[in-house]
Amino acid sequence: MRPEILNPLFCMLDTIKGIGQKHFKLIANLIGGTKIVDLLWHLPYNLTDRTYTCPISKIKTGRIWTGVVRVVEHLPPQKKSQPYRIVCEDETGEIVLNFFKYYKDSLKKQLPVGCEKVISGKTEWFNACIQMNHPDYISEPENFDYIKGVEPIYPFCAGVTNKMMRWYVKQSLVKIPDLAEWCEPGFMKSQNFPSFKKALEKAHNPLVAQDVSPTAPARKRLAYDELLANQLMLAIARGFHKKKEGRSFQSSGVLRKKLFDVLEFELTDAQKNVLQDIINDQSSPYQGLRLIQGDVGCGKTVVAMLAMLGAVECGAQAAMMAPTEILAKQHFETIGAWAEKTGVKAALLTSKIKGKKRLEIFEGLKSGNIDILIGTHALFTDDVHFKDLGFIVVDEQHRFGVEQRLKLSQKGNKPDIIVMTATPIPRTLVLTRFGDMDYSKIDELPRGRKPVDTRVMSVSKVLDVMKALNEKINAGTRIYWVCPLIKENEKSDLAAAVARFEALQKIYGSKVGLVHGKMKENEKDAVMEHFKNGDIQILVATTVIEVGVNVSEATVMIVEQAERFGLSQLHQLRGRIKRGNQAGVCLLLHGDKLSNTARERLNVMKSSEDGFLIAEKDLDLRGGGEILGTRQSGMEEFKVANLEFHKELLYTAHKDAQIILNADPLLKTERGQALRVLLYLFEQDSAFVNYKA
């Protein structure tokens, strides 16, 4: 249950005076939430200084001026092109207010002759007098002190003005309760942190430009609070999972030895280390949950197979889930062959498998005749029942959130889970997105893999590139040609896959194929099969080939409009041509007008093949949500924290969370109780569902 002290902050937005049904929807969309606390996380990004005030006769034009004036007369326009003018004065002179868009009756009501008003806005000298076009503020004299100050500028939208945002936030700030301190006193002092309440008040009432910077003490305090809540929640979830009753698979390694005997290669040291991590998880009496990260082609699939064999040897079943049918089928081709050589029964389940064959798979799973099942997320639908599922491999589904991973662990019979990804993930994102999981990294490629020659050139040379492919085609090489869109539209100048396919087809005829995400599965499968067997040598594609496609003869990768792709995405695409032992060539074709950032990103690709270094650069240049594809799939960004500025705070929060839970695992101490409030405040309390105090 949420602590009662936080209830005022979790009231709905429409409890604030002035927010009706219409504005409720607008503001909720703007701030990404429906509660008062969501509004408080919506911080100003700039400020306007309205402190300049003086008699009218001494106004310096070009500045924002705030003062009390008396309305003298209204001067309606003589022509449509002229503004509606209102003459105002003080004891020293006159100022003319101009309104180009107006309702005459409304202006007469708001500014009747003889009344006194506070006005604020930018002044200028025109027609021999001081003028102000559309004042930012027109209010009663008693509001002078409120207006004559530094005004925070909020992100706002059509239908919601900055004045409205200020008014709503002002009402919300008085609802902040005095909360017990959860930060360590020495750390607070070293960082010059104010209390939580003062930090929020300061963040919403900046006095100088530095106050709206992410590095301002108040902003840093709020960022640290959010990061600490995140790290504490993940640490609690991880601790809960590590104590969750599992199964101990004490395999002798007989099946693994059978596979080792038929493999045509030896595992790298990195693969052996990660495999040992998984074996240790399997032998533990607790459920395992581990993230396996490794570059494209580093050999994650064979490690997964060896791990699954450990569970199968002990009488359990294993399942491998892939994000697409193409990848699931590819895994089955490889794993099915290994399974046959080790005397293990493997099966493939996709949406295309229907009727009698589908029923046979269901029966084989129930009876235990099928040891390893490979497929998409459909593996875990209600109509699929395993006899004894004890091990799950999830491939390229790193977008899963903490709650989804906890639900996945409920499938089967207390299964161990490994999540594999070839997407390079920076350390900061490993901590913030996957801190509830154990983590292993395959940071070594198989012996004999040669580096890719990456070149950057203008798309203006595309015709030369197309013609130069003839030599590669005669040598039997397979070529990927990646375009960012399926077809042209009026609003985009991106290269179209369909248009490029047609242009290449004019030169190379039936040697060219096309694959994109809107094709039917059987159509994609047919094209991919032709590409694998060499009937097609140039595969024009969208990023559907980014994950998992394995054609060892493919050694050329061409990416059009490469500046439109993220570094991690380009790195994964380049990995498609590192499957064999031949040196590959990657051409990154860019548009004519490159920004400095885009040029820097392409130079990173040219100079490095280190996926982890590239991931860190991608984080700096694009942000975490872009790397993980989460802005499209719904994973929320931080509300206050910004890893570009608060990376060191994250590392501190990570250590602090570990120290806290080591000393007070049930959060029962005085600080522990305050930290419980923090978790609920940032809505990071999902780990408490199974957390007994």
3-state secondary structure at position 240: helix
What pLDDT sits at residue 581?
65
Write the pLDDT tens digit of every residue in 402-433.
666 666 667 788 899 999 987 777 778 788 87
Q: Is the dihedral of CA 671, 676, 680, 686 positive or negative?
A: positive
380 pLDDT exceeds 90?
Answer: no
Write the pLDDT tens digit of every residue in 171-230.
999 999 999 999 999 999 999 999 999 999 999 999 999 999 999 999 999 999 999 999
Contact 115, 89 (CB under 8 A): no
CATH number, position 523: 3.40.50.300
Q: Quick one: average pLDDT of 1-26?
A: 93
What pLDDT sits at residue 583?
79
Q: Cα 365 to the chain's mean position, in Å? A: 36
Q: Based on the domain organization, do 24 and 137 belong to the same domain?
A: no
Q: Based on the domain organization, do 20 and 73 belong to the same domain?
A: no
Question: 323 lies in which domain range?
Answer: 254-442
What pLDDT sits at residue 630?
41
Q: Based on the domain organization, do 467 and 542 belong to the same domain?
A: yes
Q: Based on the domain organization, do 345 and 425 belong to the same domain?
A: yes
End-to-end Cα distance, the chain: 12
Q: Based on the domain organization, do 24 and 173 belong to the same domain?
A: yes
Q: Based on the domain organization, do 173 and 284 belong to the same domain?
A: no
Residue 163 domain-assigned (yes or no): no
What pLDDT sits at residue 16?
94
**Banded pLDDT at 523 (limits 50, 70, 90):** confident
Q: Quick one: average pLDDT of 542-566?
A: 78
Residue 344 domain-assigned (yes or no): yes
376-385: long-range contacts at Cβ-Cβ below 8 A with a sequence spacing of 24 or more?
A: 376/321, 376/322, 376/323, 376/324, 376/325, 376/328, 376/350, 376/351, 377/321, 377/323, 378/349, 378/350, 378/351, 379/319, 379/321, 379/349, 380/321, 380/408, 380/411, 384/349
Q: Based on the domain organization, do 422 and 528 belong to the same domain?
A: no
**Banded pLDDT at 436 (limits 50, 70, 90):** confident
Overall pTM surpassing 0.75 (yes/no):
no
279 pLDDT exceeds 90?
Answer: yes
**Banded pLDDT at 584 (limits 50, 70, 90):** confident
Q: Based on the domain organization, do 533 and 490 belong to the same domain?
A: yes
At which of 579, 608, 637 does a domain end?
608
Q: Reduced to 3 DSSP states, what percent helix, strand and coil does the chain have, rounded to the nearest 5?
A: 45, 20, 35
* 16-30, 484-498, 539-553 — most confident range: 16-30
Task: Compute the mean pLDDT over every residue in the chain, rounded to the nearest whole number.
Answer: 87
At which of 442, 474, 493 does a domain end?
442
What pLDDT sits at residue 85?
95
Residue 671 domain-assigned (yes or no): no
* 295-299, 348-352, 444-448 — most confident range: 348-352
**Banded pLDDT at 73 (limits 50, 70, 90):** very high
CB atoms within 10 A of CB 595: 9
At which of 565, 589, 608 does a domain end?
608
CATH number, position 116: 2.40.50.140
Helix and strand element counts for the chain (H, E): 25, 21
Residue 247 domain-assigned (yes or no): no
CA distances from 67 to 59, 120, 141 (A): 10, 7, 9
Residue 405 domain-assigned (yes or no): yes
Residues with Cβ within 8 Å of 641's Cβ and at least 6 positions away in sequence, in order, are: 223, 224, 226, 227, 649, 650
The number of folded domains in the chain is 4
Residue 128 domain-assigned (yes or no): yes
Q: Based on the domain organization, do 602 and 483 belong to the same domain?
A: yes
What pLDDT sits at residue 402?
61
Quote the tokens at residue 621.
């240049």
Distance CA 266, CA 260 (A): 8
Q: Based on the domain organization, do 473 and 564 belong to the same domain?
A: yes
What pLDDT sits at residue 692?
52
Residue 179 domain-assigned (yes or no): yes
What pLDDT sits at residue 526?
86
Q: Based on the domain organization, do 335 and 427 belong to the same domain?
A: yes
**Banded pLDDT at 636 (limits 50, 70, 90):** very low
Residue 529 domain-assigned (yes or no): yes
* 118-122, 292-296, 511-515, 553-557 — most confident range: 118-122
Q: Based on the domain organization, do 363 and 492 belong to the same domain?
A: no
Distance CA 107, CA 642 (A): 44
What pLDDT sits at residue 493?
40
